[in-house]
Amino acid sequence: MNGFDSYVAIGDSFTEGLNDPLPDGTYRGWADRLAEILGAGRSEFQYANLALRGKMLAEIVQEQLPLALELKPDLVTVCAGGNDIIVPGADVDDIAARFEETIATLRGAGIEVLIFTGPDTKRMSVMSILRGKVGIYNAHLWAIAERHKAKVVDLWAMDVLHDNRAWSDDRLHFTSEGHRRIALRTAEVLGVPTAEDWREPWPETAEHANWLTLRRSDLEWTRTHLLPWIRRHLRGESMGDGLVPKRPRLEPLVRNQVSGARLTEAAES
7 membership: H or E segment, kind and range: strand 6-11
Helix ranges (DSSP H) in 72-226: 82-85, 92-108, 131-148, 176-189, 211-214, 218-221
- Note whether residue 145 is domain-resident: yes
pTM of the predicted structure, to 2 decimals: 0.87
Query: Is a pLDDT exceeding 60 seen at residue 260?
Result: no
What pLDDT score does 126 carry?
60
What pLDDT score does 266 carry?
39
Q: Give me the CATH number covering residue 58.
A: 3.40.50.1110
| Reported confidence tier of residue 241, pLDDT bands at 50, 70, 90 | confident
Per the DSSP assignment, residues forming a β-bridge with 151 are 114
The three-class DSSP label of residue 73 is coil
Cβ(8)–Cβ(65) under 8 Å? no
In this predicted model, what pLDDT tens digit does every residue of 41-93 receive, in sequence order? 999 999 999 999 999 999 999 999 999 999 999 999 999 999 999 888 999 99
How many domains are there within the chain? 1
- Note whether residue 67 is domain-resident: yes
- Note whether residue 15 is domain-resident: yes
Q: What is the DSSP letter of 171?
A: S
- Note whether residue 36 is domain-resident: yes
Query: Is a pLDDT exceeding 70 seen at residue 264?
Result: no
